[in-house]
Structure 1
Amino acid sequence: MTQPKLTLSVLDQSTVSHGTPEDQAIRDTVSLAQHTEALGYSRFWIAEHHNHASIAGSSPEVLLAALAVKTERIRLGSAGVMLPHYSALHVAEQFRVLDALAPGRIDLGVGRAPGSDGRTAHALNPHNDHADNFPAQVRDLLHWVNGLEMPEGHSFRSVTAHPMSEASAPDVWMLGSSDYGAQLAAHFGLPYSFAHFITDGRGAGQALDLYRRNFKPSFFLKEPKANLCVWALAAETEDEARHWFRSRARWRIDRNRGRLGPLLAPDDLPPFSRDEEVEAENLWAQSYAGSAAQVADKLRKLAQEQGLDEIVILTWTHSREVKRRSYELLAAEFGL
């Protein structure tokens, strides 16, 4: 059987590079969306993080509004909105406005994780009582986003999220890095995106299998639809990719020790200890980094193993130009 053509999409987190102002990371995200649209990528998703010294993307709904007016074709979405911080109605209204700006191009990816530490989550919403009520939040969000009437007896049955449209509505995606999100996506009949880059692929196959086996066709989707978000870096040569990867390895090692900060340039990294060198080599060995051909082969193999026709690529580098070039090389490899 012929493997279907693999669709490539983008996840960008507005990462901060040492020596560059944080606000530049937001402008770089806008520029990258325009660049990857021209290259032929299918979606451009952005993340939500708070009080994070490495990631400036704290308000996806605001940034998506800018992307909506700066792009023309590419689908735009959140990966994701951390729903327990907010009311479902407020999120539905925000994304209905976004759909009015870019009709038929908006994806609303939602997740349960805080995207921050516990203290910051409390600061975001000191009165938050949604954390244990996530499934009900998702149910309400789906009704409001799609202009569906709430169930009989619902407290907010008479409330509508505006502006409504007869032509389109945002596509709601369930995000996750464990079985929980897979089960919820299957229950509601939603598309599902697994955060491969968070777990380094651990649990991906199990979650996707669980999702597909338990999927219930819905008003939103008739058959299971899933993708993986994968960290990847392509360069002209494997040696060049290794050079730029060391920044990512240094960040991962530091993060695992409780230290967060801007991404350092490869030539400015503090020395690796012997144990850290072993750790960095292990990270490289399991990464989707290398020459463009090497990365493309790994992504095709991953997609085939998991039965996917879409991979979402997240790339971190200290250099804006190296990141943009990575997306160019992969677009060429996959004939976008």
Structure 2
Amino acid sequence: MKLSVLDQSTAVSGRPQTDAIAESLALARHCDGLGYHRYWVSEHHHSGSIVGSAPEVLMAAIAATTSRIRVGSAGVMLPHYSALKVAEQFRVLEGIAPGRIDLGIGRAPGSDRLTAYALNPDAGQAAERFPQQVQDLQAWVSGMPLAPGHPFGASRAHPQGPTSPEMWILGSSNYGAQLAAHFGLPYAYAYFFSEGEGVEEALDLYRRLYQPSERHPMPQATICVWALAADTEEQARHLLRTREHWRIGFERGLRLPLVSPEEAAATAYDEADQARIAALRRRAIVGTAGQVAARLHALAAQLNLDEIVVNTWTHDPAARRHSYTLLAQAFGLTGLPSGQALG
């Protein structure tokens, strides 16, 4: 089974937010060396927690400093932008790393309503035009002509080349699944948004309604899960406290940097918070590499998947890199020779 990475460039307390970007670059090189299949970066705005606001820029740096891993967006929030401009950006990325670029797109704002308006005052109407944007983007990215009579039919996205980015639809609902099926595109379900609620229905819809495309004659699906491995289950549960603390803040509308497990453990939670944390702990995919790998293999078998994307948050970047190392070993990934691309 293939294993991939979603990196959200999380900020941590006590350090500049720009460190999160540097850590993303370091983790990408590390996972390139370990043998991970893809490395996806996200787009969020006006967040003190997730500071990767320009995936296309971060992808360029990652693509230029890795050698074999696929590099992608998870995703570009298309209603904020012109489909032609996004196609041009990703055609340039394809020129940097031919055959290694994924263009994952989503409809959600990735921000609050006011910030979405600041990014694009027409964002609300643009979201309604999302299917048309996807169709236009698909043509511009692949180099195929737009539909006859299209007002921009004479426009092309450059640079052209022998390869083109692979498009993905991202989502956490049936809407994205049906859209991906309609356009014959791969589909990634954000399992970690709702701890998997609705995933079976979405994947079933996607596969049942799938209309084959030239590039993708068969449906291709994956899910993105939150998981964390450590040398012992006790250590993993200790590191999980950081995410527990963040989740409580998130429920209150806060988007704060990640705190250390020790600071999280010292936090006084009320009964409602404690109940939320207990529920999170029951569902969390955390433990030793063997325990986490077993859970992921079971999920893959249950959902008929040959690839899973793993998202991991820790306050200490070394603990995050170690988690990905442990999982690579547990899955028997084969990377570069020892000492290469593991910065």
TM-score by length of 2: 0.95
Q: Deviations over 1:157-210 (max 9, x none)?
A: 100000001x20000000000000000000000000000011110111110000
Q: Deviations over 1:291-323 (max 9, x none)?
A: 111101000000000000000000001010100
Amino acid at match of 1:152: P
1:1-336 matches, cutoff 5 A: 6-128=1-123, 129-165=125-161, 167-269=162-264, 270-336=267-333
Give every structure 1 segment of 4 or more consecutive aligned residues whose post-TM-superposition deviation is greater than 3 Å: none
Deviations 1:277-300 (A, max 9, x none): 232121011011111111010000
Unaligned 5+ segments in structure 1 are: 1-5
- Give the unaligned 5+ runs of structure 2: 334-343
Q: Which amino acid aligns with 2:282?
A: A
Deviation for aligned residue 1:78 = 0.2
Residue by residue over 1:107-130, the C-alpha shift from the partner in whole angstroms, topping out at 9 and shown as x without a partner, is: 000000000011000001124441
**Cα separation, 2, equivalents of 1:236 and 1:275:** 31
Q: Secondary structure at the match of 1:72?
A: coil
Mapped partners of 2:274, 2:27: distance in 1: 32
Distance 2:101 2:252 in 1: 37
Count of paired positions: 330
Give RMSD over aligned pairs: 0.8
CA offsets per residue over residues 45-74 of structure 1, 9 Å max, x none? 000000011011000000011011110100
**Which amino acid counterpart does residue 269 of structure 2 have in structure 1?**
F
- Report % sequence identity: 54
Corresponding residue of 2:338: none
Shift of 1:75: 0.2
Letter in 1 for 2:175: Y
Shift of 1:272: 2.3
Alpha-carbon distance between aligned partners in 2 of 1:52 and 1:257, rounded to the nearest angstrom: 14
Aligned residue for 1:328, secondary structure, equals: helix
* Counterpart code for 1:73: R
Q: TM-score, normalised by structure 1?
A: 0.97
SS in 1 for 2:299: helix
